[in-house]
Amino acid sequence: MKITNIEKLKEKVINSRDKTKTWVTVCGGTGCHAYGCMKVVEAFQEEIKKKNLVDTVGVRTTGCHGFCERGPLVVIQPEGIFYQRVGVDDVPAIVEETVVNKKIVEKLLYRDPQTKQAIIHEQDVPFYSKQKRIIFGNNGLIDPTDIRDYIAVDGYQALAKVLFEMTADEVIKEIKKSGLRGRGGAGFLTGLKWEICRRESAPIKYLICNADEGDPGAYMDRSLLEGNPHSVIEGMIIGAYAIGATEGFIYVRMEYPLAVKNITIAIEQARKFGLLGESILGSEFSFELHVFKGAGAFVSGEETSLMASIEGRRAFPRQKPPFPAQKGLWGYPTNINNVETWANVPLIINKGADWYSKIGTKSSKGTKIFSLVGKINNTGLVEVPMGISLREIIYEIGGGIKDNKKFKAVQTGGPSGGCIPAEMLDLPIDFDTLTKAGSMMGSGGMIVMDEDTCMVDVARYFLQFTQEESCGKCVPCRLGTRQLYEILTRITKGQGEPEDLKRLKDLAKTVKTGSLCGLGQTAPNPVLTTLKYFRHEYEAHIFRHECPALSCKDLIIYYIEPEKCVGCLLCLKNCPVGAISGERKQVHVIDQELCVKCGACLDVCPPKVRAVSKYTGKKKQQILNKEKKARRR
């Protein structure tokens, strides 16, 4: 079916649907998948069949709703009743009580940890109520494998408006006016980028969606592709129209099989509906779109190396200029934007640049989706207006730190970014404030760290990452990141030297200035920010062989406090290397020579006993000395 009038189609879709029907929507994002949501979906389908409710109740599998922490999530529509941590066993109760009798199943409701109050509706859950979900909100409403769901929520209306009511220049003007900046990291003005590409005269132009999402700990791009693929496709067609491109690619990283699947289905459906291919919606504009699966290289997220990858070559970045807008894929002008950037486009066209630019700060407009992860109570994806403070995100939306621990830092910007300390929690975040703090917006990873996270180890972790992922083209990047990594490793092992602090700084500078692409240029940021804000932790490791977070394996010991141990044998049974000795009801002892510091003993020791402790530095040495003396005796 090729359609020419999207408004009419929307009407048709809506009229064809029974408005009295109840919908059981189950989150089918990767997080909820991992919790086993597909079994829940099946159980609902069976139960509904069993109860002969097929005509009045439907089951819809959606993309990620954002609140992955409480998955599997189930929302009963149209009422918006929100159930969390739903298992297969809960299905009959939900169908019987809520779907049939319109009553609430109390035990599946979300409880506000502070007020202890049960919350019935999705929009009242604090995690959601403080967000501004203009891009991500539809994820919970649509089945990504059914284009009609997207059309029912005004999908492809922006495209129709652009094709029939706007010139290409007007589209670019609108995007420029909105102030939209690229969400892939650098924050370049999207409208300006399009304009540069439009001005190039060439027989062929290409368009790319960067869905390589390399930041380890960020997954908003994946969730958009999985949950609302048509919003990205629509944005791309609009962009293609504005620039004059005839063909596009969506480059998805290979670790995201569900995203690849859903975007492929979406492209097929769009083609069937006449929204891709020849003369879109009956207009004179034609555009083709392909999915390209990456092959596991972080550097291929960099735009020039991404294009090399599509061309079937190794993903080496190259010098710029020429910029992709001038010389891109196969030498033709190419415009590349990030997934979330594309998803913003239909919204701006629909609501207007004036509306859009009212959201956010002076220099950064609109919202940003962050992946709020790590030591936080409400792990998930949060969409917030630019300019919101870190404190609001972490404490009001994120519900604070896990297990009532103390907040230490938040890492933004992935391997290119840095760690921001507690003193800066009130920083209103946008592209520029984060850069000023020595970090970066990046793609939106936000990893929360608590008192148990060692900041030297975090720097070491990121340098291990960049060192492995450096493509090796530039010597300062290849060797410099390796050296940084080696020095940091040395420090975490307690073998650091006082000169290392200066060495790190000097090396960081060399790598920053001597590298060709963003990977090398930003790789030292995790070291520099931790050195700046957490220098005392470096000093503790180097000068006192102490890991204040009790995290670095070589600097800590596990120790069973004799006066607390009740001799229950639990730790002994759980030690993987047989390092613990002791008889029932007698004090257990850890053989420090054998212990591999896996932490199992501390983990299993009953909470009432808590006999296992970790020690570092002086205290650790005292214990070791005491044990040595005892052995000699």
Partner 1 sequence: MEPRKRGQLIHLLHQAQTQEGYISAEAIAAIARKLKISEGEVFGVVTFYKGFSLKPQGKHKVTLCMGTACHVRGAPLILDELERTLQIPAGETTPDGLFTLETVNCVGACALGPIVIVDGEYHGQVKPREVKNLLVKVDENLDRLKEQ
Ligand X SMILES: Cc1cc2nc3c(=O)[nH]c(=O)nc-3n(C[C@H](O)[C@H](O)[C@H](O)COP(=O)(O)O)c2cc1C
The binding site for ligand X (CB under 6 A) comprises 182-186, 188, 210, 212-214, 299, 301-303, 336-338, 341, 443, 517-519
Torsion angle (degrees, nearest 10) of CA 320, 326, 329, 334: 110
Nearest to 92 by CA among 101, 70, 28: 101
Pick one of 137, 217, 494, 567: the residue that binds ligand FES (CB under 6 A). 217
> Counting every residue, how long is the chain?
633
Helix (H) or strand (E) holding 490: helix 475-492
Q: Which is nearer to ligand FES, 253 or 545 (CB)?
A: 253
- What's the CA angle centered on 188, arms 302 and 241, to 5 degrees? 90
How far is Cα of residue 390 from the mean position of the Cα atoms in its chain?
Answer: 16
Pick one of 22, 29, 236, 517: the residue that binds ligand FES (CB under 6 A). 29
Pairing of strands 118-119, 81-83: unpaired
Pick one of 80, 87, 137, 216: the residue that binds ligand FES (CB under 6 A). 216
Pick one of 263, 459, 517, 605: the residue that binds ligand SF4 (CB under 6 A). 517
One-character DSSP codes across 591-606: -TTT-----HHHHHS-
Which amino acid is residue 571, in one-letter code?
A: C
How far is Cα of residue 486 from the mean position of the Cα atoms in its chain?
Answer: 28
Q: Which is nearer to partner 1, 54 or 254 (CB)?
A: 254
Helix (H) or strand (E) holding 60: strand 57-62
Q: Which is nearer to ligand X, 360 or 496 (CB)?
A: 360
Task: Give yes or no for residue 73 binding ligand FES (CB under 6 A).
Answer: yes
- Residue 212 touches which of partner 1, ligand SF4, ligand X, none (CB < 5 to 8 A by kind)? ligand X
The secondary structure of 361-395, three-state, reads CCCCECEEEEEEEECECCCEEEEEECCCEHHHHHH
Q: Which is nearer to partner 1, 84 or 361 (CB)?
A: 84
The 3-state DSSP class for residue 405 equals: coil
Residue 234 beta carbon to partner 1: minimum distance, rounded to whole angstroms: 23
CB 446 within 8 A of CB 393: yes
- Residue 377 touches which of ligand X, partner 1, ligand SF4, none (CB < 5 to 8 A by kind)? none
Residue 421 backbone phi and psi in degrees, to 5: -85, 170
- Residue 71 touches which of partner 1, ligand SF4, ligand X, none (CB < 5 to 8 A by kind)? partner 1
Residue 630 beta carbon to ligand X: minimum distance, rounded to whole angstroms: 54
Q: Which is nearer to ligand SF4, 350 or 510 (CB)?
A: 510
Residue 77 beta carbon to ligand FES: minimum distance, rounded to whole angstroms: 16
Helix (H) or strand (E) holding 501: helix 500-514
- Residue 478 touches which of ligand X, ligand FES, ligand SF4, none (CB < 5 to 8 A by kind)? ligand SF4
Residue 506 beta carbon to ligand X: minimum distance, rounded to whole angstroms: 23
Give Cα separations from 56 to 52, 95, 99, 100 (angstroms).
9, 12, 10, 10
- Residue 474 touches which of ligand X, ligand FES, ligand SF4, none (CB < 5 to 8 A by kind)? ligand SF4
Q: Give the other-Cβ count within 10 Å of 165's Cβ.
A: 9
Please tell me the distance from the alpha carbon of residue 216 to that of residue 332, in angstroms, as a whole number. 31
The 3-state DSSP class for residue 72 equals: coil
Nearest to 250 by CA among 260, 265, 241: 260
Please tell me the distance from the alpha carbon of residue 351 to that of residue 355, in angstroms, as a whole number. 6
Please tell me the distance from the alpha carbon of residue 521 to that of residue 512, in angstroms, as a whole number. 4
Task: Give yes or no for residue 241 binding ligand FES (CB under 6 A).
Answer: no
Considering only 103-111, 216-224, 464-472, 484-492, which stretch makes contact with ligand SF4 by CB under 6 A?
464-472
Binding site for partner 1 (CB under 8 A): 30-31, 33-35, 68-69, 71, 214-219, 222-223, 254-256, 292-298, 300, 309-315, 330, 371, 373-375, 379-380, 411, 414, 445, 447, 449, 453, 458, 461-462, 465, 471, 574, 576-577, 596, 598-600, 603-604
Please tell me the distance from the alpha carbon of residue 168 to that of residue 115, in angstroms, as a whole number. 52
**DSSP code of 258?**
H
Q: Which is nearer to ligand SF4, 364 or 492 (CB)?
A: 492
Pick one of 66, 414, 415, 476: the residue that binds ligand FES (CB under 6 A). 66
Please tell me the distance from the alpha carbon of residue 407 to that of residue 411, in angstroms, as a whole number. 12
Pick one of 516, 549, 552, 605: the residue that binds ligand SF4 (CB under 6 A). 516
Binding mask 353-392 for ligand SF4 (x = CB under 6 A): ----------------------------------------
CB 286 within 8 A of CB 237: no
Residue 112 beta carbon to ligand FES: minimum distance, rounded to whole angstroms: 18
Pick one of 142, 401, 477, 531: the residue that binds ligand SF4 (CB under 6 A). 477
- Residue 216 touches which of ligand SF4, ligand FES, ligand X, none (CB < 5 to 8 A by kind)? ligand FES
For residue 438, is it left (φ>0), alpha (ψ between -120 and 50) or beta? left
Q: How many helices (H) and strands (E) does the chain have?
A: 26, 19
Task: Give yes or no for residue 259 binding ligand FES (CB under 6 A).
Answer: no
- Residue 31 touches which of ligand SF4, ligand X, ligand FES, none (CB < 5 to 8 A by kind)? ligand FES
Give the CB-nearest residue to ligand FES. Answer: 29
Task: Give yes or no for residue 520 binding ligand SF4 (CB under 6 A).
Answer: yes
Helix (H) or strand (E) holding 407: strand 407-412
Q: At what angle do helices 339-351 and 229-243 cross, to 10 degrees?
A: 80
**Residue list 264-323, contact with ligand SF4 (CB under 6 A):** 299, 317
Q: Which residues bind ligand SF4 (CB under 6 A)?
A: 299, 317, 470-474, 477-478, 515-517, 519-520, 558, 574-575, 577, 579-580, 590, 595-601
Q: Which residues bind ligand FES (CB under 6 A)?
A: 27, 29-32, 64-68, 71, 73, 216-217
